[in-house]
Structures are given as C-alpha cells and as structure tokens.
Structure 1
Amino acid sequence: MKQYITPNPWSVIEEGFHPEENEITESLMSLGNGRMGQRGNFEEKYSGKTLLGNYVAGVYFPDKTRVGWWKNGYPDYFAKVINACNWIGIDVEIDGQILDLHTCQIEEFYRELDMKRGVLSRHCTAITPQGQRVRIESERFCSMVDDESGAIKYSVKALNFDGHITLTPYLDGTIRNRDANYDETFWQEISKETSFAEGILTLETKPNPYGVEQFEVTTGMRFDIKKNGKKLDFQSHPVKNEKYVAGKVVTEISEGDELTLFKYAVNLSSANYKREELTEKAKNYLDRITKKGYSSLLSEHELAWADKWERNDIEIVGDMEAQQGIRFNIFHLQQTYTGEDESLNIGPKGFTGEKYGGVTYWDTEAYCIPFYLATSGKHVARNLLIYRYKHLAKAIENAGKLGFSQGAALYPMVTMNGEESHNEWEITFEEIHRNGAIAFAIYDYINYTGDKVYLAEYGLEVLIAISRFWKQRVNWSAQKEKFVMLGVTGPNEYENNVNNNWYTNYLAVWCLKYTLSAIEYVRSQEKADAIFAKVEFDQEAETKDWQEIIDKMYFPYDPEREVFLQQDGFLDKELKTVDQISEHRPINQKWSWDRILRSCFIKQADVLQGLYLFEDHFDQGTLRRNFDFYEPMTVHESSLSPCVHSILASSLGKKEKAYEMYVRTARLDLDDYNNDTEDGLHITSMAGTWMSVVKGFAGQRVRDGVLVLNPYIPEGWDAYSFRIGFRGITMRIEVTRQAVIIENPTTESVEVQVWGKQYSVLGEVRHELKGAAAE
C-alpha cells in the first residue's frame, strides 16, 4: 500500500511532490462531468512520469484486435474510448527556457482535489535550472452546469527575477493512446483556425474497416490574462502546427509580478451535433461561457455539486480515513455518469485512464445501478437499462456469431455500441453470467422503484431473449439426469473453462423463473400479445422447456461441508488459505497463469456473489457455512470483490471482517492496494463502497415494496448518516449508538422497516427510533 495522501474529510491532498507516484496522483485527482473528463495532469510541460489523458464521453475507436491465435467468434476490434485533444495545456517560458517541474528544484508543493466543490488546485514554488524562483498556482474544473466545457485559472509569479515570460495556451491533438494495440494514432485533422486569444481544432477518428462510425470532435479555447489583478493589454500570436493550435503571449515581468491566465475550453462531438455545425456551435458555446466569466462558471459549478452532495453524501463521525474514502468514491461516481444521456454508460476507469478501453462491462448492472437507484432520480438507472435495451438486436447478433439462434441474446462482455469487443476466449465465449447481471438489473430496478411499466415497455423483450440463450446453452446429462452448463467462466476469473459453475447455473435458473413471472404480469396488463408477436414467441412450447430446466438444473454441492461448490472438481484442488501465500502476492503478478488456474485461490466473490444477490433464498446457516469456506481462499485481486464480502459479513454479524473489507474497497485507489491505480481508478467498484455502508452496515434492502434497515455501527465510529432516495422521497438516515434517526423532508409518508419493526415515517417529522445500533 502507498499512503502518501493526506487524510481529509473533503479533499484528496498531496503535500510535497511525489514524482515517483505522479501517475497515481493523476488518476486520483481526475475530473469529469459526465460528458468529458481528464486526468489530473499539470497544465505546463512535465517531462517526468506522466500519463496525459483527456476523454470525451461516447467517442471511441475500433482498435484492431491483437491476438496470437484467431478463434471463430472473436471480434475484429476492441472498442476503446480514446485519448482526445489535450485542452488544458499552457506552456510557460522564462527568458526563452521552458518551465518543466521535472527539471526544477521543488521548494514547496501542494496539490488538492476539493471533492465538495469539484475543483482541482495546485500551488508550488520551484527553482529553474537557471536559478529563477517562480510561484505557480492553478485551479480548474469540468463544469457540471455547462457540461461540455471546462475552465482554468493559472498564475505565475516571479519571486527573484526580472525578465520575459511567454505564456502559450494551446490545443494539442497529437496525443496517443498508451494502450494502442499497434501503436497507432487514432485521430486525423479536419480543420483548425485561430484568432485573437482563440483556437479551434477539429479532429476526426481515422477510417476503419469495420463499419464503425467515425467521430468528429471540435475543441475550442479562449483565454484572457491579468497582471497583478488587472486586465493585461496583450498581443496573441497565433501558432498552427499539425493537429495543434495555440496563442503565444510574450510580456515583461518584474520581481513580485504575477500573471494570471484564464482559459476556457469546450469539447463538442458529432455524437451530439451535426458535423457541419460543430465549429459554429463551439464558438457559440465559448461566447456563452466567457460571457459568464470564470467566477460565475465556478459558482454555478459549486452549486451543482452542493445539490449532488445534498442527495448522496455519507457522513462518518470518528474515522477520518473511512470518511475520506467514501466521499472519494461517491465523488468519482457522480462526475463519471450523470444519467442524462441514455446512449452513454460507465466504463470501469471512467475518465481516469485507458485500461479496459473505457467500455461497458457487467459491472454497471451488478454494482452501479443500486447506487444510482438510491442517490439519483429514477430516470438515471432507467437510462442505464434502456442502453441495454437499445443494444438487444446486437446482443442477438452476437449470440448468432457463436451459433445460437431463434432470438437468443448474449450481451457482450465489453462494448461501446452493443457489439462484443473482448478477445480473450475464456471471457468472450465463457463468462456468460453477464447475461444474468442484466436480467437481475431489470428486477432490481423494478423492485426498488415499483416501475412495473418498464417490463412491458422494454424489459420483457430482453428477458425473453436472455432466457432463450440459457435454454440453448445448457445440455442434458444422461449420467447426472440433470441439465448442466459446460465450459464457462464465472466472476472468479482464476478458474477458466469449468463445468457447472454454481453461480452461473443458479443465475440462469433464476432468470428463467423471473422471465416466467414477468410474462404473467405483462399478460395481466393485456400487453403481452404485441410483444410475443414482435419476438415470435411460442409461449406454450418455450415456457415448457424453461420450466423443465428450472426443475432439473444441476448444482454442484458438497454434502460433507454443506456448501455449494464453485464448480465441478473444485474439491480436487489443494485447499489452502490466503494467509499461506502472503509473501507471494498479488498472485496475478507473481505466479504463472498455470499455477493460478490449478490453485484454489479466488480472484473475486463467485459463490458468494450469488449468495449476496439472492440472500433471501437461503437461511443464515447456509450463508455462514459458504462464507466461512470461501472467504479465507479469496485474494480480492478484483476490485469488485471486497464489497460483496463486506456486505455478507455485515449480515452475518462478522463486524471486524465487514470493516476490513470496507476499508479495502473504500481506499482501494487512495492507498493503491493492487498496485494499479496509475492505470486509472476503479470507478465501477466504487459503487460497491457505497453498498458496503448502506447495504452492509445499515442493512438496507427492499422487500415487498418496503424499505428495510438493520443498522449497526462499526467499531471506532461514533455515528454515520446517509441520504437515500426511495419511491420519490429522499430521506436522511442517521445511525448513532443510541438510535436510528430518520428525517423525511417531504409532506408524504413512507413505510420503513427498522430492526424488524415497521414504521410509517411521516413527512416533515424527525423520527428517532431507539435501539441497539451498536450491537
């Protein structure tokens, strides 16, 4: 672990420069607003360790697949969100010498991501190789109000010299993706233009042979300069190079003088505008935001963040590191996805890095939807489901490429446009539990919101297509006289190509059952016939087949230990616990893949993932036996794992383990647990941190349309509180050692069950429920 970040309830702070950890800090201090984002790079040149990263939501490139051995069904390309135009750049020259902190002596350095305000700031004092002492102060944000724009306030102060300073704000499209399969650049220039203190650069993704849409992105900038707080009368000398525009300003400076540059930028893409209008729209956008000015833009942005925190903050009393961790996770979730555009989704790294290509995984449905259901308007989670509905035809096409037919759908493991773009065979072909995650998300959304209308509008079509897939994916075992599922990979990717993964089998049966119940509901609303006709559904024949699978599915089980088995043959492994390999971790970096596959060690929750999702299907004894068996063998080398263990541990009364797993997920990136934060943050698992508190420590569930709470307080905490939206009402829940306090600010009442007792929580009343919260 790395622990150089200063604990603070509302900020991520680096005191003193840590150049060896700079790429980690850049990830931690990334900014976004749902439409665009960037890593926490310096504005001025930096020749040290850095990963420049600017990203525009929904814009991607189909990078040609790179594999050694081609297999039928492999996708031709890997879709990836690509590094876009660098709009934050400001070159600084002092008497003709470029300012580069990597070559300077750093006297003092402070960098801070203020999560309450959504602002990244920095100040430092540096001595150049020529001996000039200079003070740098910077502040920037990606606007949550004007969400295709960002702004920078950048100051340079001469501390011990007189001379000339050149400021060159620029737009640079010559960037590359570090993860390019063939070291290609992905952009070509369409147009560029400059005028006084302004630059416009339009880039287009290169042509591709796969029929994937080419995107155009127009990036525009304007800037203004003050000297010692007063507007500077300056000349801007235009610079144009390949995929690059800038405005160069040269001015004299004396000891004690300070220059402050205000830079405004916009990113508009052809995903949202007509190509022929991009330049004009960009200029109009710049007109609007520069007319507001930096201070007004910032104030509006801060108010937008204040509104978000009013709806989704979690406050922890008595544990600073836990407090910082949960707010860090909430902050990045809220700036990555706002839910206003149903064509967008959530990449595992969000706007913080290139790894995983920024594409959509099953993480969204399994981890993120519960967070957005409780912290945002209903439309946000609904739009995530509609995203999958709009990709249903592609999911059916994907299944067809693998030999499935008759409307069976296999949703992709990773995607941008609905097509599969993952090319590891054990995942592309075998990690089919992703279908179940999408079906469960439909159930989760309806169970939480009560929006059953969604089934007839969108959900049932998806459920039928997924159920058709399960029907064709199982086969009958004459030896077992059961249906089995062969050659799969569960969530635990440290076991590939196994037979009868318990989680996958159980999820498939649940999907079939839920689809049958959904059919009955839609029929009761007299809306089924049109859907059946559209998908050519033979209700009698198909549902009969589904019911037979439900009745006769095989589940691996150990009667001696009374636990479900990960898969057939799991007990043939040498069973060890993680504490026996502590000096050789992480095993994914220290062991051969062959050794990992033959070991019992679990990358992430697998059987326990199923027990978490379907907790109410099992008694406490079953939950406890399986947890006690599998938890000691889990290495948690997936970011998605600790939160599931934390929630289950809470429900089993294992408070110490629950807290241990909470800290691991909450500070996974802040402390760089898995030595990979430099690649970007684990955005989707951050929703699991929220769940660890709300579903874990507070015991939040929804049963029969009622919000359920079974809260306790972890050791070392004095109290905690959170906001939760449910059926149109946002409540504040506070848990102390003496009571649970529920505040309902509306005029409506809501039913809430606390510690097994049901209460009608009236509006505009503070309800204090006495109980043993600490027990």
Structure 2
Amino acid sequence: MKNYIIHDPWHIIEDQFRAEHNEFSESIFSIGNGRMGQRANFEEAYSGKTMQGSYLAGVYYPDKTRVGWWKNGYPEYFAKVINAVQWIGLDIQIDGTTLDLAQCEIISFERRLDMKAGVLYRTFRAKMPNGKEVEITAKRMYHLFQSDTASLQYTLRVLNSDADVAVRSYLDGDVVNRDSNYDERFWVPIAEDIQDDLVLVKETRKTTFRVEARLRNVCYVGGTAQSSGIKRKEQFYVGEELHAHLKAGESIRMEKYVAMVSSLNHPLDKLTEAAQNSLEKIASKSYDELIQLQTEAWARIWEESDIQIEGDVAAQQAIRFNIFQLNQTYTGEDARLNIGPKGFTGEKYGGVTYWDTEAYCLPFYLATQEPKVARNLLLYRYQHLEKAIENAGKLGFSDGAALYPMVTINGEECHNEWEITFEEIHRNGAIAFAIYNYVRYTDDSEYLSTHGLEVLIGISRFWAQRVNWSEQKQQYVMLGVTGPNEYENNVNNNWYTNKIAVWCLRYTLKVIAQEQTLHEDRLYELLSRLDFKAEESPLWQHIVDNMYLPEDSGRGVFLQQDGFLDKELIPVAELPAGVRPLNQHWSWDRILRSCYIKQADVLQGIYFFEDEFDTNTIRRNYDFYEPLTVHESSLSPCVHAIIAAKLGKEDKAYEFYLRTARLDLDDYNNDTEDGLHITSMAGTWLAIVEGFAGMRVRDGQLHFQTFIPKNWQSYAFHVQYRGTKLYINVSQDDFEVKNLSDTEISIIFNGEQLLIEPEWKS
C-alpha cells in the first residue's frame, strides 16, 4: 500500500516528487472528458520511469493475439484503445540544458487534481545541472464543455540568474503502446502542416480510423504576447520553437489549445473543418475563461452525483475521486462508446468493454444521470447482438444463440486468455440482468419490446444449448466454466453461473408472457423474425425446473462449484502477510488448487438475487465465503460491503467500503501504476447508496434501510428515480429526505411508508 496522497475533500494532492512511484501518480492524476483523456505525464521531457498515455475513445487497433498455440474459436486479436497523439509535449532548453526532473535537484514539488473544477495543477522548483533554478506552474484540462478539445498553460520562471530559454511546443504522432503484443506500430502518417496552426493527420492500420490533431500555441514573455516561432515538420511530428532571454525573476508562459477529431465522429471530408471549428471555440477565450467554463460544467455533474460525508476526510476524498473518474470516463453522449476497466488511465485490459459495465456501473448512471445515459449502455449491447450470435457460432452454437464477448470494442470477442474467453460465460447473465435492472428502475417497459427481449432471447438460446442433461443427477448441469472467481478455472457447476442461467431463462419467459398481453402483434413479428420455435419455451421451463445448483445441506450454504469442499479450507487471516497479493507471489497452479477466492462469486449471485433468500441463508453464505476471499479483484469489496450492511455487520461494511473507495488512492493491490480501476469505482458508490443507505427497488417503489458508520457525522446524496429527484441526508440521530421535483413520491424509509411532497410546496 501507499499512503502519500494527502487527505482533502475536493483535491488529490502529492506534496513531493517520488520518482520510484511516478507511474502510480500518473494514473492517479489522469484526466479526461468521456471523449478522450490522458495519464498525468509531464509536459517537459522526463527520462525517468514513465508510461505515456493519451487516448481517444473508440479509436482502437486489433493487436494480433499472442498465444503459445492456437485453439479453434480463439480470438484472432486483442482490441486496444491505443496511444493517440502526444499533444502536451514541451521541449525546454535553458542555456542549452534540457529541463528534465530526472536530472534536477528538486527543491519543491506539488501535483494537485482539483476534482470540483476538473483541472490538473503542477508546481515545482528545481535546480538544473547547469545551476539554473526554475519555477514551473502548469495547468491542464480536458474540456467537459467541448469534448474534442483540451488545453494547458505552462509558466516557467528563471529564479537565480538571467538565462536564454527555448521552448518547443509540438504534436508527436509517433507513439506506441507499451503492451503491444508483437511491438507492432499502429499508425501510418497521412499529413503534417505548419502553415497556420500545427496540424497532424494520421490513420490506424487495419481499422483505418483517421485522426486530425490541430494545435495553436500562444506564448507570453513577461506578460507580452510573442509572435509565431520557428516551425518545422517531420513525419508524424510538427513543432514550433520560441526563444526568449529572461532576466532573473522573469517568466515565459506557453498556452496550448488543441482539437482532436476522428473519422469515428466526422466524415473524412469534414474532418479538417470540424477540427478548425472546435479549436476556434476554445482558442478565442482566455485561459481563465476556459477554467470558468470547465468549473461550470463540472458543477452540473456534481449537483447530481456528489456524495457528501461529514467527519471522515479520507472517505470523503475517496468517494469523490471515484465519482470524478466515472464521470470523466463516460458521459453517455454516444451509444457506440462504453466504459473500459482502465478508462483513459492506462493500457491494461485494452480499454474495452467487460461485464463490469452491466454489473457495477449501470446502477450508478441510473441514479445519477438522465435515463438516456443508462439506456445508451444497453443500446451498446443491442447494437452488438448480431456479433454476439457470430461469437456463439464460432464456438459451435446455432439457431440464434448469442454469447456476448468477455472483452470487446466492436462486438467481437477479443480477450487474450483462453480460459476466460471460452469459460467465463456468466457475462451473458450480467447483460440480461442489466436489462431487468434498467426496466425495474426506470419503468421503461417499452425498451423490452423494442430492444431488450431480442437480446434476452439470444442469451436464453445460448443457455439452453450450453447446459446438458446428466443421467446420473437427473438434472441439467453446466460443465467446464469459470465463474466470477478467476482463481478457479474449468470447473463444473459453478453455482453463480448455473443460477444466473436459470434466472435468465425464467425472466425471458416472463417477458414473453408480458408482451403476449401488452403487444401481441409486436411480439408475433419479433418471434417470426427470430424463427422462434414452439418447443423453445417448454424446453427453457424444463431447464428452469430441473437445473442442478450445488449446495452443502450440512452447512446450509451454496457450493461455489462441484468439489469445492475437497479443498483445504484455511481462512485468509491465517496466510502470512508476505504472500499477498497471491497472484504476485504464488504459482498459478498453487492458486487454482487453493480455496482462496479472488472476488465475490456465490455472494455475487446473492447480491443480484437478494430477494430470493432469507436473511439466515445470506448470513450463512457470507460467513462461509468471506473469510476465504482475498479480494484481489477490484470488483469484490463493494459486494461484500453491501451484504455486510444488510446483515448488520456495520464495521465490516465500513472496512470494505474503505477498501473499495481507496483501492487506487492507497494502491491496495499494488497495481495502480497500470491504470485506475474505473469500473469498480462504481462499486464505491454502490457501497454507500445500496450498502449504508440500503437503497433497493421493490415492486416499483424505492426502499431505504439506513445506517451510518460510527465515525461519520452524516452522509448525503442525490438519486433520480422515474422522473423524481431525491436528496437523502443521514446523520447519527436523524435523517432528511427532500423531493427536488414537482411531483410527490411514496418511498419506504427504514420500514416506514413516507409520502414525500415536492420541496417547492412547503
């Protein structure tokens, strides 16, 4: 763990430079705007440990999969959101010596992310090898109000003597990904131009995404604007160099305004026009005006999604950090985009879509944004249904069976680990559950008719073909799967997978029956188009009635899979601290033979289907599995926090909340330098709203069952529900519920029915 991030309610702050942890800090201080984003790389040259990262959403490359030997059905590539254009770069020479913090004596240093305004700041004083002392102040934004633009302001002051300063501002398109499987280069140059603005145009190999970056530099020396500098261009590179002689105490300020547009969003013949228009919109304003616009845009986000905590600064900082990162990763404005596990903060996982979106992120967007944002997340999967059917076909399934990918950016499976690609099929269930979750929350039943049911039928057809009848058990079984717990591969009858398959089939049959009553003609048209057979519904019902779900009647718990009790059940608490995380100390063989659980598995199913189980059943399963869980997946602690809260285990709920909330800020799993765990950040919100506040939707009504951690004075949040906006404040000895809409709403709060009148009426 690391604990050098200073606790502050609205800022992420490091107060000194730690070269050995620079890549960790680059992840922590990443910024973006839903359309593009970047790790917190330095503007000036840095020869120390760093990972360059500048990304455009939806622009990807199919990097050829690297495996020891091929298997039928194996994905041919691993899709990656790739490094785009390095636009922040400044080469700075002071009396002929390059400014490089790795070569300087650092006198003071601070990096600060203002989450309230969405601005990254950095200041430092340093003594260079030639004896020159300099002071730098840098500001950077990815504009939320104009999402294809970004800007920075960089001020350099020479402190102890006069100096000749040269600043070259540039766009560099010759960038690579560190994790390229065959060191392949992803871009080809198209054009470079330096006539007016600096312009760089390039195109991805294979996928032929064209990107145009357009940069305008504005330079001030001692407060006086300078004319254009010396421009030059090379393949993949355009730059502009300005020179100044500074007296001691004088400064030079460079402002960079950039627009980056792609053929994903504009026709090729309109790309230049789009870049010019976007650049003009920001370059015509002062930097202070841009900061004001950015602050106003973030204020609108925070008004809906903020959670306020009194009495615990570490917890307050953490929840805002998680909410901030979620909102700058995905804004919902484009149904072709989704939420990569690392967002714009790193290369790991390729920046593409996993089941995390449906299982963890959807509830956050349902409650904090307009319904169209969550609907776009569902539409993303609907648009990929044909590809899901193709994916299933590659594995031998037929007749419209759909297997959604474990990893995708365009609907095709592109995961590069075979056991997950072929076996971790529970992701299909999470997508079906998201449809159910969306409809029960929004009451948008029309979505079922127009989009959702078609997806549900494809998924149900897959489950019906994936199970097989066991003559020995006289039940249906599911063989050779991997559940959410990836520390178990190729197991039989993973309880969670079997359970969610049964639920999917039952829910699909229920929706068909509803549509038969409500939209018979529309249903008939759909079933005809899908060539739905008369025997499918009876088969699905037979599977529902006869699925094998492993359990241990003596302990009264569901078994994670067949044979789980053959393992040596040694609690995690008895492991030496030096072997954690297991995946960094044990062989994979040893992990697979152990009883240790990477993340909630049985408990994931209990979280989804909580209303099907009585409290004693939930308690027995929690008490059995939690001591065996190492939480080495970022998706695990939040589920445990929610269940612990339901069971009245308030101290454990708080412990798990802190773990999920400060997972990246404190680097619990020693892997944040690869990038932040964006999708699990929604779990932080869930831990408070569904955990501490106990929010549920039952029978079309919002329920709350609240508690408050002992060291908190209060916590408060907003939720949107079916057109109503509520403000909930829970303190140690009281609560407050406000209706910020114009219609009344009835809710169940701590067991009591409350009719909440609109605030304006009181």
Q: What is the TM-score normalised by the length of structure 2?
A: 0.99
Q: Which residue does 2:135 correspond to in 1?
A: 135
Task: Say yes or no: does 1:613 pair with 2:608.
Answer: yes
User: Which range moved further: 13-22 or 578-587?
Assistant: 578-587
Q: d(CA) in 2 for partners of 1:188 and 1:743? A: 56
Q: Which residue does 2:399 correspond to in 1?
A: 406
Task: Say yes or no: does 1:757 pair with 2:752.
Answer: yes
Q: Which of 204, 207, 210 lines up with 1:216 in the alignment? A: 210
- Cα deviation code 1:312-367 (max 9, x no counterpart): 10011111101111000000000000000000000000000000000100000000
Task: Say yes or no: does 1:204 pair with 2:203.
Answer: yes
Task: Say yes or no: does 1:306 pair with 2:299.
Answer: yes
Task: Say yes or no: does 1:678 pair with 2:678.
Answer: no
Is the 1:741–1:766 Cα contact (8 Å) retained in structure 2?
A: no
Task: Say yes or no: does 1:386 pair with 2:379.
Answer: yes
Q: CA deviation at 1:408?
A: 0.2
Q: d(CA) in 2 for partners of 1:439 and 1:167? A: 54
- Cα deviation code 1:26-61 (max 9, x no counterpart): 100000000000001111111111111000000000
Q: d(CA) in 1 for partners of 2:649 and 2:687? A: 13
Q: Which residue does 2:620 correspond to in 1?
A: 625
Q: Which residue does 1:532 correspond to in 2?
A: 527
Q: Which residue does 1:542 correspond to in 2?
A: 536
Q: Which residue does 2:591 correspond to in 1?
A: 596
Task: Say yes or no: does 1:17 pair with 2:25.
Answer: no
The alignment covers a number of residue pairs equal to 759
Task: Say yes or no: does 1:725 pair with 2:720.
Answer: yes
Q: d(CA) in 2 for partners of 1:305 and 1:730? A: 19
> What amino acid is aligned across from residue 259 of structure 1 in structure 2?
I
- Give the 3-state SS of the residue equivalent to 1:139 in structure 2: strand
Q: Which residue does 1:81 correspond to in 2?
A: 81
Q: CA deviation at 1:765?
A: 5.9
Q: CA deviation at 1:18?
A: 1.0
Is the 2:192–2:234 Cα contact (8 Å) retained in structure 1?
A: no
Q: CA deviation at 1:450?
A: 0.5
Q: d(CA) in 1 for partners of 2:668 and 2:253? A: 39
Q: Which of 741, 746, 762 lines up with 2:736 in the alignment? A: 741
Q: CA deviation at 1:766?
A: 9.7
Q: Which residue does 1:688 correspond to in 2?
A: 683
Q: Which of 494, 499, 504 lines up with 1:506 in the alignment? A: 499
User: Which range moved further: 352-361 or 732-741?
Assistant: 732-741
Q: CA deviation at 1:283?
A: 1.9
Q: CA deviation at 1:231?
A: 3.0
Q: Which residue does 2:56 correspond to in 1?
A: 56
Q: Which of 574, 578, 585 lines up with 2:568 in the alignment? A: 574
> What amino acid is aligned across from residue 194 of structure 2 in structure 1?
T
- Give the 3-state SS of the residue equivalent to 1:264 in structure 2: strand
Q: CA deviation at 1:174?
A: 1.3
> What amino acid is aligned across from residue 141 of structure 1 in structure 2?
M
Q: CA deviation at 1:96?
A: 1.8
- Give the 3-state SS of the residue equivalent to 2:277 in structure 1: helix
- Give the 3-state SS of the residue equivalent to 1:58 in structure 2: strand
- Cα deviation code 1:562-599 (max 9, x no counterpart): 10000000000001100111331111110011110000
Q: Which of 335, 341, 348 lines up with 2:341 in the alignment? A: 348
Q: Which residue does 1:565 correspond to in 2?
A: 559
> What amino acid is aligned across from residue 200 of structure 1 in structure 2?
V
Q: Which of 354, 361, 364 lines up with 1:361 in the alignment? A: 354
- Cα deviation code 1:99-142 (max 9, x no counterpart): 11110100011110000100000111010000000000000100
> What amino acid is aligned across from residue 117 of structure 1 in structure 2?
A
Q: d(CA) in 1 for partners of 2:210 and 2:218? A: 27
Q: CA deviation at 1:14?
A: 0.5
Q: d(CA) in 1 for partners of 2:732 and 2:273? A: 59
Q: Which of 265, 268, 276 lines up with 2:269 in the alignment? A: 276
Q: d(CA) in 2 for partners of 1:473 and 1:648? A: 30
> What amino acid is aligned across from residue 53 of structure 2 in structure 1?
G
- Give the 3-state SS of the residue equivalent to 1:134 in structure 2: strand
Q: CA deviation at 1:279?
A: 2.2
Backbone CA RMSD of aligned residues: 1.0
Q: CA deviation at 1:232?
A: 2.2
Q: Which of 544, 550, 554 lines up with 1:556 in the alignment? A: 550
> What amino acid is aligned across from residue 671 of structure 1 in structure 2?
D
Q: d(CA) in 1 for partners of 2:633 and 2:41? A: 27
Q: CA deviation at 1:730?
A: 1.7
Q: Which residue does 1:324 correspond to in 2?
A: 317
Is the 1:744–1:766 Cα contact (8 Å) retained in structure 2?
A: no
User: Which range moved further: 731-740 or 74-83?
Assistant: 731-740
Q: CA deviation at 1:259?
A: 1.1
Q: CA deviation at 1:739?
A: 1.6
Q: Which residue does 1:97 correspond to in 2?
A: 97
Alignment of 1:323-472 (within 5 A): 323-472=316-465
User: Which range moved further: 582-591 or 685-694?
Assistant: 582-591
- Give the 3-state SS of the residue equivalent to 1:554 in structure 2: coil
Is the 2:107–2:124 Cα contact (8 Å) retained in structure 1?
A: yes
> What amino acid is aligned across from residue 50 of structure 2 in structure 1?
T
Unaligned runs of 5+ in 2: none
Q: d(CA) in 2 for partners of 1:236 and 1:533? A: 67
- Give the 3-state SS of the residue equivalent to 1:340 in structure 2: coil
Is the 1:53–1:83 Cα contact (8 Å) retained in structure 2?
A: yes
> What amino acid is aligned across from residue 111 of structure 1 in structure 2?
R
Q: CA deviation at 1:522?
A: 1.6
Is the 1:743–1:766 Cα contact (8 Å) retained in structure 2?
A: no
Alignment of 1:476-495 (within 5 A): 476-495=469-488
Q: CA deviation at 1:235?
A: 3.5
- Cα deviation code 1:351-406 (max 9, x no counterpart): 00000000100000000000000011100000000000000000000000000000
Q: CA deviation at 1:285?
A: 1.8
- Cα deviation code 1:480-531 (max 9, x no counterpart): 0000000000000000000000000000000001001111112222220111
Q: Which residue does 1:42 correspond to in 2?
A: 42
Q: d(CA) in 2 for partners of 1:91 and 1:583? A: 43
Is the 1:158–1:253 Cα contact (8 Å) retained in structure 2?
A: yes
- Give the 3-state SS of the residue equivalent to 2:542 in structure 1: helix
Q: d(CA) in 1 for partners of 2:225 and 2:439? A: 58
User: Which range moved further: 423-432 or 385-394?
Assistant: 423-432
Q: d(CA) in 1 for partners of 2:606 and 2:692? A: 17
Is the 1:33–1:336 Cα contact (8 Å) retained in structure 2?
A: yes
> What amino acid is aligned across from residue 202 of structure 2 in structure 1?
L
Alignment of 1:220-239 (within 5 A): 220-228=214-222, 230-239=223-232
Q: CA deviation at 1:674?
A: 0.5
User: Which range moved further: 513-522 or 276-285?
Assistant: 276-285
Q: CA deviation at 1:288?
A: 2.0
> What amino acid is aligned across from residue 23 of structure 1 in structure 2?
E
Runs of 4+ in 1 over 6 A off after TM superposition: none
Task: Say yes or no: does 1:152 pair with 2:152.
Answer: yes
Q: CA deviation at 1:248?
A: 0.6
- Give the 3-state SS of the residue equivalent to 2:275 in structure 1: helix
Q: d(CA) in 2 for partners of 1:100 and 1:423? A: 37
Is the 1:643–1:661 Cα contact (8 Å) retained in structure 2?
A: yes
Q: d(CA) in 1 for partners of 2:210 and 2:516? A: 45
Q: d(CA) in 2 for partners of 1:154 and 1:521? A: 61
Q: Which residue does 1:772 correspond to in 2?
A: none
Q: d(CA) in 1 for partners of 2:678 and 2:322? A: 8
Q: Which residue does 1:210 correspond to in 2?
A: none
Q: CA deviation at 1:297?
A: 2.0
Q: CA deviation at 1:757?
A: 1.3
Q: Which residue does 1:126 correspond to in 2?
A: 126
Q: What is the TM-score normalised by the length of structure 1?
A: 0.97
